[in-house]
C-alpha cells in the first residue's frame, strides 16, 4: 500500500510539473519531483529516498528535455544524502525541513548544470543552457530556484504529511522510543 | 546505491553521445502515459480560462469591433495589391522558366504542455506518428516559424522552440539576402550571427529562412530585427531578433509535413 501511495505521489508530481508551467510560468522555478524526493528521504530511509529520487529524476528528465539520466543521477544522489543526514541529525523541525529543501534545490541545480557541462563538452555552457551566462547569473538562478522550491515545499510538505500520516506517526513513535531507551 | 548511480551514468553517457538524443525509449514511454492526462486536464483548464477571458473581452467588444472593421478594410486593399503582384510574379516566373515555390501539406495541432523547466524551451503538441508527424519536421503559425519536432510518439510530439538555446535556424535578412545563423536567447528572443558589419541592417527588417539547414523550407518568416548590437572591434553584427510567431504563448500550431529528403530535392531542382 505504501509503495503504491508513493508511486502515485511521484506520478502526480510529474503530472503537475508537466501541466502547470503552461498556465503559471513561475512553475518553471519549482521542481515538484525533487520536493517529493526530499520529503521521502527525510523519512530516514536511504533506500526508499534513493529509489524515489531515481524514479522522480528519470520521469523529470522525460518531461523536461535534455540528456536522459542527468536528473535521475542528481536526484538519486540527493535522495541518498538527505536520508543519511536525516539519520545522523534531527531534521524533524519544519524549518529544518525547508532548509533541507533549499540546500537540495541548490545542489540539484549545480549538479544538473555541471553534468550538462561535462557531457556536452563541445559547447560552451552559456550556449547550451540559459540563465548561466555568468557566475552572477548562475548564482541568481540557483537562488531563485531554491526560493521557489522552498515556498512550494511549504505547501507540498503539508499535503504529503496528510497523505503519509500513518507513516509519520510511526516515525515519531520510533524517535520517542529511541530517545527514552 | 552504486548500482543505481552507475546505471544512470551509463544512461547519460549513451544519451549524450547520440545526435538525436531527445528521442529516447524512456522519454517515449513516460510522455505516452502523461500526455493524454495532461491533454484532458489542460482542456478543462483552458475552458475555464477561456470563459473568464470571454467575459473580460466582452467589455471592450464594441470599440474593438470598430477597430477591426477598419483593419479589415485596410487588409482588403493590401490583399488586392498583393494579388496583382502575385499575378505579375507568376507571369515573370513563366517567362524566365523559374521553378515554382514548393508547397507542403500542413497539419494543425494544439499545444498541450510547454516549458516544464527553466532550462529548455519545448512545446508538446497533440499530433504524432499516427498523424504523419516525423522527427525534424518544421512547426509554424500563420505569423512565422515556431520550431522543429525533436521527439515524437503515437499521439504527441515535442517541439524545440527557436528561442531554445540549443536551437539553430539558417536565416537571412529579407531585403539584403545576407545569410547568418539564428540561435535562441534567454528572454523569448533570438540572436543572429555571422552578418558582416559592412551590411546595412535596419531595425524592423524581416528575417526569413534560407532553406539551407534542411529543416525549414526557404522563405518562411522568422521574425524582425529588434536591435542591432555592434562591437567596433568585431567584423560581425549581432542582431537581436523578435520572433514573428508568439512562441512563448502560442496555443495552436501548424506542422509542415516536409521531410529532409523533400528539401534536398528542392535544392537539386533549383
Choose among B187, B198, B175, B161: nearest CA to B241. Answer: B187
Residues of chain B with C-beta less than 8 angstroms from the C-beta of A64: 116-117, 119-120, 122
Question: Which value does ipTM take for this structure?
Answer: 0.81
**What pLDDT band is residue B267 in, cutting at 50, 70 and 90?**
low
* CB atoms A21 and B27 under 8 Å: no
pTM here? 0.82
**Helix (H), strand (E) at residue B148:** strand B145-152
> What is the C-alpha radius of gyration for chain B, rounded to an integer number of angstroms?
21
Whether the CB of B13 is below 8 Å from some CB of chain A: the reply is yes
Q: Who among B34, B49, B186 is closest to A14 (CB)? A: B34
d(CA B178, CA B75): 29
**Window from A62-66, B49-53, B94-98, B260-264 with minimum mean pLDDT:** B260-264
Q: Suggest the residue from B3, B4, B193 to mutate for an interface test with chain A (most A CBs closer than 10 A).
A: B4
Following CA atoms A120, A124, A125, A126 in sequence, which dihedral angle do they give, to the nearest 10 degrees? -140
Closest CA to B169 of B199, B124, B206, B214: B214
CB neighbour list of residue B92: distance below 8 Å, 6 or more residues apart: none
**Which of the listed ranges A69-73, A168-172, A173-177 does the model predict with the highest average pLDDT?**
A69-73
Please report the pLDDT score of residue B270 as a whole number. Answer: 46
Which of A23, A90, A81 has the alpha carbon at shortest distance from A53? Answer: A81
CA distances from B51 to A173, B57, B59, B248 (A): 50, 10, 13, 22
Largest CA distance in chain A: 58
The pLDDT assigned to B225 comes to 94
Average pLDDT (A84-104) is 89
Q: Tell me if B118 and A29 make a contact (CB, 8 A cut-off).
A: yes
- Nearest alpha-carbon partner for A109 in A86, A139, A154: A139
Query: How distant is the Cα of A103 from the closest Cα of chain B, in angstroms?
Result: 18
Tell if the CB–CB gap between A63 and B34 is shorter than 8 Å: yes
Residue B106 and residue B56: Cα distance in Å, rounded? 33
CA distance A20 to B114: 9
Q: What value does the mean pLDDT take over residues A49-56?
A: 93
Chain B residues whose CB is inside 8 A of the A134 CB are: none
Q: Map residue B173 onto helix, strand or coil.
A: strand
Partners of B166 on chain A (C-beta within 8 Å) are 127-128
B15 touches chain A (CB under 8 A): yes
Choose from B11, B12, B27, B110 for mutation: most chain A CBs within 10 A.
B12
Q: How far apart are CA A76 and CA A47, in angstroms?
A: 10
CB contact under 8 A, A58 and B26: yes
Q: Is B34 on the interface with A (CB under 8 A)?
A: yes
For residues B129 and B250, what is the distance between their CA atoms, to the nearest angstrom? 22
* pLDDT score for B9: 82
Does B115 sit within 8 Å of A21, measured CB to CB? yes
> What is the Cα–Cα distance from B265 to B29, expressed in whole angstroms?
34
Contact residues on chain B for A141, CB-CB shorter than 8 A: 118
Contact A128 B49 (CB under 8 A): no
- Look at B80 and B10; give whichever has higher pLDDT: B80
**Segment B234-242 mean pLDDT:** 89
The percentage of residues in chain B with a pLDDT greater than 90, rounded to a whole number, is: 37
Report the C-alpha gap between A136 and A32 in whole angstroms.
Answer: 25
Q: How far is A111 from chain B (nearest CA, A)?
A: 13
Chain B: closest CA distance from residue A17 (Å): 6
Q: Average pLDDT of B47-60? A: 81
- Which residues have C-beta within 8 Å of that of residue A34, sequence separation ≥ 6? A56, A60, A75, A78, A104, A105, A108, A149
Instruction: Indicate yes or no: CB of B49 within 8 angstroms of CB of A31.
Output: no
Confirm or reject contact between B49 and chain A (CB < 8 A): yes
Amino acid at each position: 500500500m505504501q509503495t503504491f501511495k508513493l508511486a502515485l505521489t511521484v506520478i502526480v508530481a510529474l503530472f503537475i510539473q508537466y501541466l502547470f508551467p503552461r498556465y503559471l510560468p513561475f512553475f518553471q522555478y519549482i521542481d515538484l519531483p525533487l520536493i517529493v524526493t526530499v520529503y521521502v528521504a527525510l523519512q530516514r530511509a536511504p533506500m526508499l529516498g534513493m529509489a524515489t529520487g531515481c524514479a522522480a529524476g528519470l520521469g523529470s528528465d522525460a518531461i523536461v528535455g535534455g540528456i536522459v539520466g542527468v536528473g535521475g543521477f542528481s536526484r538519486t544522489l540527493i535522495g541518498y544524502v538527505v536520508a543519511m543526514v536525516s539519520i545522523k541529525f534531527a531534521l524533524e523541525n519544519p524549518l529544518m525541513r525547508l532548509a533541507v529543501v533549499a540546500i537540495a534545490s541548490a545542489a540539484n541545480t549545480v549538479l544538473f548544470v555541471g553534468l550538462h557541462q561535462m557531457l556536452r563538452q563541445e559547447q560552451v555552457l552559456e550556449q547550451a543552457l540559459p540563465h548561466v551566462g555568468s557566475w552572477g547569473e548562475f548564482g541568481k538562478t540557483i537562488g531563485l530556484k531554491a526560493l521557489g522550491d522552498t515556498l512550494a515545499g511549504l505547501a507540498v510538505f503539508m499535503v504529503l504529511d496528510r497523505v503519509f500520516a500513518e507513516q509519520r506517526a510511526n516515525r515519531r513513535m520510533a524517535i520517542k522510543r529511541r530517545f527514552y531507551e | 546505491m552504486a548500482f543505481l548511480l552507475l546505471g544512470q551514468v551509463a544512461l547519460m553517457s549513451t544519451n549524450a553521445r547520440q545526435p538525436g538524443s531527445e528521442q529516447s525509449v524512456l522519454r517515449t514511454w513516460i510522455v505516452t502515459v502523461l500526455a493524454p492526462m495532461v491533454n484532458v486536464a489542460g482542456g478543462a483548464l483552458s475552458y475555464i480560462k477561456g470563459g473568464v477571458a470571454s467575459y473580460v473581452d466582452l467589455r471592450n467588444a464594441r470599440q474593438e469591433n470598430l477597430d477591426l472593421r477598419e483593419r479589415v478594410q485596410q487588409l482588403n486593399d493590401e490583399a488586392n495589391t498583393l494579388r496583382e503582384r502575385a499575378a505579375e510574379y507568376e507571369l515573370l516566373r513563366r517567362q524566365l522558366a523559374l521553378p515554382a515555390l514548393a508547397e507542403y501539406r500542413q497539419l494543425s495541432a494544439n499545444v498541450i504542455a510547454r516549458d516544464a523547466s527553466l532550462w529548455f524551451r519545448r512545446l508538446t503538441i497533440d499530433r504524432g506518428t499516427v498523424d504523419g508527424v516525423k522527427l525534424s519536421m518544421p512547426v509554424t503559425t500563420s505569423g512565422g516559424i515556431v520550431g522543429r519536432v525533436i521527439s515524437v510518439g503515437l499521439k504527441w510530439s515535442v517541439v524545440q522552440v527557436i528561442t531554445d538555446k540549443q536551437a539553430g535556424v539558417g536565416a537571412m535578412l529579407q531585403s539584403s539576402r545576407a545569410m547568418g545563423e539564428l540561435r535562441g536567447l534567454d528572454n523569448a528572443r533570438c540572436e543572429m550571427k555571422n552578418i558582416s558589419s559592412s551590411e546595412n541592417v535596419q531595425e524592423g527588417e524581416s528575417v526569413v529562412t534560407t532553406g539551407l539547414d534542411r529543416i525549414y523550407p526557404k522563405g518562411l518568416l522568422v521574425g524582425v530585427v529588434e536591435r542591432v548590437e555592434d562591437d567596433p572591434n568585431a567584423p560581425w553584427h549581432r542582431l537581436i531578433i523578435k520572433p514573428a510567431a508568439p512562441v512563448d504563448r502560442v496555443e495552436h500550431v501548424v506542422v509542415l509535413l516536409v521531410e529532409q529528403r523533400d528539401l534536398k530535392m528542392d535544392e537539386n531542382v533549383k
